[in-house]
């Protein structure tokens, strides 16, 4: 991430952490860790997400999980927590899809989740079925259509698989993937 974008991101994250700490400490504003400590540790961000969930603030919990992917994309926590983030995302997406179609949950968060998912497509031999299912099963087919558009511009990750969905009344029931075979070598000559 470039330096110009880090300043506003750090400010936004600090505000998020302050709000989270204030709500978890009953409004006293005391937090056991500094925001720098929390931002620097996927484990501490996860603790904040767990605390937000315990206080029934699923959107705040999602934000903490998203920070793990944003700030620590190569961490074990980032890979491990995609299913939890997908569950929270799906809930917010479905709640806002009709009521607030211009919300962040329907405009920018799908692309963020698709980006997070792309990290699981690095192994060219193994399709990440569990992670794909976590994100798409039960969701509207229109979300998959958005993903397909997203994936077209990122063949490095998604170009090795042909994917299709089955649905029941517009809700995704399964995602089926087959590997795309590389084209064979072109044969030149006169064709004798």
> How does DSSP assign 77-110, residue by residue?
HHHHHHHHHHHHHHHHHHHHHHH-TTSHHHHTHH
Q: Residue 102 above 80 pLDDT? A: yes
Separation CA 49–CA 62 (nearest Å): 7
Sign of the CA dihedral running 60, 43, 10, 81: negative
Cα–Cα distance measured from residue 33 to residue 21, given in angstroms and rounded to the nearest whole number? 9
Q: How many helices (H) and strands (E) in the chain?
A: 10, 2
Q: Phi and psi dihedrals of 182, rounded to 5?
A: -65, 145
Q: Determine contact, residues 127/160, Cβ cutoff 8 Å.
A: no
Mean pLDDT across the stretch 67-95?
A: 95
CA distance 59 to 71: 18
- pLDDT at position 172 is 98
Residue appearing with tokens 């031999």 = 125
The model's pTM is: 0.77
Percentage of the chain modeled with pLDDT above 90: 68
Return mean pLDDT, the chain.
Answer: 84
- Is pLDDT of 63 > 90? yes
Is a pLDDT exceeding 90 seen at residue 123? no
Q: Are 134 and 86 in contact (CB under 8 A)?
A: yes
Give me the pLDDT at residue 185, please: 57
**pLDDT above 70 for 50:** yes
More confident residue, 97 or 10: 97
Q: How far is CA 165 from CA 45, 58, 132, 178, 189, in A?
A: 34, 28, 11, 12, 41
| Angle made by CA atoms 121, 106, 115, in degrees to the nearest 5 | 20
């Amino acid at each position: 991430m470039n330096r110009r974008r880090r300043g506003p991101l750090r400010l936004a994250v600090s505000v998020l952490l302050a709000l989270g700490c204030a709500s978890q400490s009953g409004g006293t504003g005391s937090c056991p860790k500094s925001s720098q400590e929390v931002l620097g540790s996927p484990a501490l961000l996860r603790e904040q997400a767990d605390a937000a969930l315990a206080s029934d603030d699923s959107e705040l919990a999602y934000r903490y999980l998203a920070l793990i992917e944003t700030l620590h994309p190569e961490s074990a926590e980032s890979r491990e927590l995609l299913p939890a983030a997908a569950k929270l995302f799906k809930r917010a997406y479905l709640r806002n899809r009709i009521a607030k179609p211009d919300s962040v949950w329907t405009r920018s968060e799908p692309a963020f989740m698709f980006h997070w998912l792309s990290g699981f497509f690095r192994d060219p031999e193994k399709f990440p079925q569990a992670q794909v299912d976590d994100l798409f099963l039960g969701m509207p087919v229109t979300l998959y259509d958005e993903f397909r558009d997203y994936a077209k511009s990122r063949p490095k990750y998604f170009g090795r698989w042909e994917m299709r969905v089955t649905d029941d009344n517009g809700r995704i029931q399964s995602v089926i993937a087959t590997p795309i075979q590389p084209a064979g070598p072109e044969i030149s000559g006169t064709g004798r």
